[in-house]
Amino acid sequence: MSRGLIYRVIFILVLITFAVILILPTVGEKTMKIELSENVTQQQLQRISERFSSDDFQVEQKDNAILVSGINLSDAVMNEVRIFPGVIDAKLLPHWAESAVLAKKINLGLDLQGGMHLVLQADFKQMEKKLGKTLSEKEKTELSRQALELLRNRVDKFGVSEPSIRPRGNDAIEIQLPGVKNPKSVKKAIGTTGRVEYRLGNDKYTQEANQWVKENLEGGMLPDDPAELRRLEEKIADGIGLPDNMIILFYYERDDQSNKLYPSYPIVLQKDIALAGDDINKAWVAPDEYQQLAVHFTLTPDGAAKFAEVTSEKNHGKKMAIVIDEKVRSAPVIRVQISTGQAIIQGDFTREEVHALARIIKEGALPVDLSIIEERTVGPSLGQDSIESGVKAIMVGLLGVMFFMMLYYKFSGLISDIGLIINIILMMALLSWLGFTLTLPGFAGFILTVGMAVDANVIIYERIKEELKSGKSARMAVANGFDRAFWTIFDANLTTLIAAFVLSQFGTGPIKGFAVTLFIGVLCSMFVALYITKTIFEIITSSRKIKKLSI
């Protein structure tokens, strides 16, 4: 073997090793940690172990948790176990390859893992009618952006893992919520209008509530999950004997790193609303005395009177909570009476939020009416079925193609079969590395690629056969065959790449998945045929004195 050939072999081996490591988090053994409740019963434990009783899983119990490992663990299994009685939480632990080489699990599309896909369209026509003027494109984009920011806050409430909310064009918003169990409640929450209100705080009970949290909650950490938070609310109210005219809400702060809102501490407020959104006349955004963006507003005469009353001397020193969508976002202390009917809201807001807030105050709602124009919900079991049938179809198709190639091309067919397997590994590695999402049509693209991937090999082999027929040596025939086939393969595949590229520009998710897998598949198959199988052939024809090629 020449030195160049050896280098190539090393390069290929390194590449394949790297690709295999990249796909480990997807196809390798995974581990799931199931956290158990302290008073889990024997019966409940048995149900869990029965679920994982088959030979596919290894189960190990550790203190208050069960570790399950196996190949067939998925998000769907995780979600299934999560709601078992006696289980607090279930989590798939990150695979070692994920931290070592930035490998990622191949994301599953909503059609495979279940979830909800919504497209909301902004109704600018109605708004223009109301305003009596036409909106510029820039204004429309700005409005959509604000609506998007508001929606993000609302969706955050559901504690969905990895929601995706993004603009589609300048008048629509696309929301994807994987694994949502109750689509109706999500739709309702998205559709309700935002609310801003002012409530007077109660220091005595706020203190007691915080004391209670400190004593009864481990580490004083509040849960993120809205349902759990609501339960906690009731528990605190019971614990401190909260009077009927008061409510507990939570003060929210923004985490600088993740830019997400999280509940920080409970705050007790008067049930009576001191000032509502419709008491406010005008609101605008301007910097405050600290050069922070803040919402300035003026009140209606009615509102001004109410505000003067609330800020009167008897309430000085008390807190005034600004509640947005049931979240306390700012709670300044009242120091002076404000009877001018002008005030300001300061707080830890992002630029988008300040604008959104001003908009909520002005309109008392989303900046523009949104209507659902597309909705797709897939239950987890349907998704699981699709994965199973997709994998089965790939396996059968793959075996069929491989068998046929061996039958027709004998030993050379075996080489192309090896190429086909390498091709699939490379494809999966690229898909997971680039963070693409696999959808059901993506599976179809995968299968189609399996069928078409051997095309390059077929073109080459037919050429080699011709060369052999014209009396060339095996070595020459291989060299000429690859050379002559190169441009044919290049031209032919480029057109498929064009079709796949155009298709990938077509908005909707699933089709994009199909196009991307097809695109990557064609690229990989070209590389495998023209580089890897070529190298294999060169090794064979160079190392031994081959007279006859089995083709």
Partner 1 sequence: MDRDKIIDFLQYRFVAIGFSLVLFVIFVSSIVSSGGINWGIDFVGGVKITAKFEQDVTIGSIREVLNKNNISGTVQQIGKEELNEYIISTKLLEKGESAEASANILTNAINSSFDNVEVLGTETVGPAIGEFLKKSAIKLFGIALLLMMFYLSFRFEVKYSFGAIVAVVHDILLSFAFCGFANIEIDIPVIAAVLTIFGYSVNDTIVIFDRIRENNQIQTKQTLFDIVNKSITQSISRTLLTSITTLFAVLALYLLGGEVISGFAAVLLFGIFIGTYSTIYIASPVVLGWEKMAAKKKKSE
Residues that bind partner 1 (CB under 8 A): 111, 119, 121, 183, 371-379, 381-382, 385-386, 389-390, 392-394, 396-398, 400-401, 404-405, 408, 440-441, 443-444, 447-448, 450-452, 454-455, 458-459, 462, 466, 469, 487-488, 491-496, 498-500, 502-503, 505-508, 510-511, 514-515, 518
Q: Which conformational region is residue 101 in: left (phi greater than 0), alpha (psi within -120 to 50 degrees), or beta?
A: alpha
Pairing of strands 320-324, 327-330: antiparallel
Q: In this structure, what are the phi and psi dihedrals at residue 73, rounded to the nearest 5 degrees?
A: -90, 140
Which residue stretches of 180-311 are H helix? 183-191, 203-216, 226-240, 301-310
Give Cβ neighbours of residue 410 (< 8 Å, ≥ 6 apart).
Answer: 550, 551
- The nearest distance, CB 518 to partner 1, in angstroms, is 7
Q: Nearest approach, Cβ of 390 to partner 1 (angstroms)? A: 6
CB-nearer residue toward partner 1: 255 or 375: 375
Distance CA 380, CA 375 (A): 16
Q: Which is nearer to partner 1, 168 or 254 (CB)?
A: 168
Q: What is the DSSP string of 52-107?
A: T-STTEEEEEETTEEEEEETT--HHHHHHHHTSTTEEEEEEPPPHHHHHH---PPE
CB of 217 to partner 1, least distance (A): 37
Quick one: tokens of 46?
Answer: 């048995």
User: What are 69's two structure tokens?
Assistant: 């490992």
Contacts of 493 (CB under 8 A, 6+ apart): 456, 522, 525, 526
Instruction: Give dist(CA 359, CA 282) in Å, integer.
Output: 10
Among candidates 33, 77, 35, 41, which has minimal Cα distance to 59?
Answer: 33
At its nearest, how many Å lie between partner 1 and the CB of residue 71?
21
Q: Looking at beta carbons only, is 344 or 372 nearer to partner 1?
A: 372
Choice between 96 and 506, CB closer to partner 1: 506
Identify the CA nearest to 192 among candidates 369, 375, 349, 377.
369
Strand partners, 324: 196, 327
CB of 453 to partner 1, least distance (A): 9
Q: How far is the CB of 470 from partner 1 (least distance, A)?
A: 10
Q: How far is the CB of 213 from partner 1 (least distance, A)?
A: 40
Nearer to partner 1, 308 or 448 (CB): 448
Residues pairing with 438 in the sheet: 108
Please identify, using beta-carbon distances, which residue of 347 and 509 lies nearer to partner 1.
509
In the complex, minimum distance from the CB of residue 538 to partner 1, in angstroms, rounded to a whole number: 22
Q: Distance between CA 378 and CA 180 in Å, rounded?
A: 9
Q: How far is the CB of 421 from partner 1 (least distance, A)?
A: 15
Contact status, residue 119 vs residue 187, Cβ threshold 8 Å: no
Which one, 101 or 458, has the nearer CB to partner 1? 458
Q: Which residues touch 441 (CB under 8 Å, ≥6 apart)?
A: 510, 511, 513, 514
Closer CB to partner 1, residue 263 or residue 510? 510
What sign has the CA pseudo-torsion 346, 349, 350, 352? Answer: negative
**How large is the angle between the packed helices 509-527 and 380-433, nearest 10 degrees?**
40
For partner 1, the closer of residues 37 and 381 by Cβ is 381
Distance of closest approach, residue 497 Cβ to partner 1, in angstroms: 8
Q: Which is nearer to partner 1, 362 or 465 (CB)?
A: 465
Q: How far is CA 14 from CA 5, 6, 101, 106, in A?
A: 14, 12, 14, 21
CB of 477 to partner 1, least distance (A): 14
Residue among 307 and 443 whose Cβ is closer to partner 1: 443
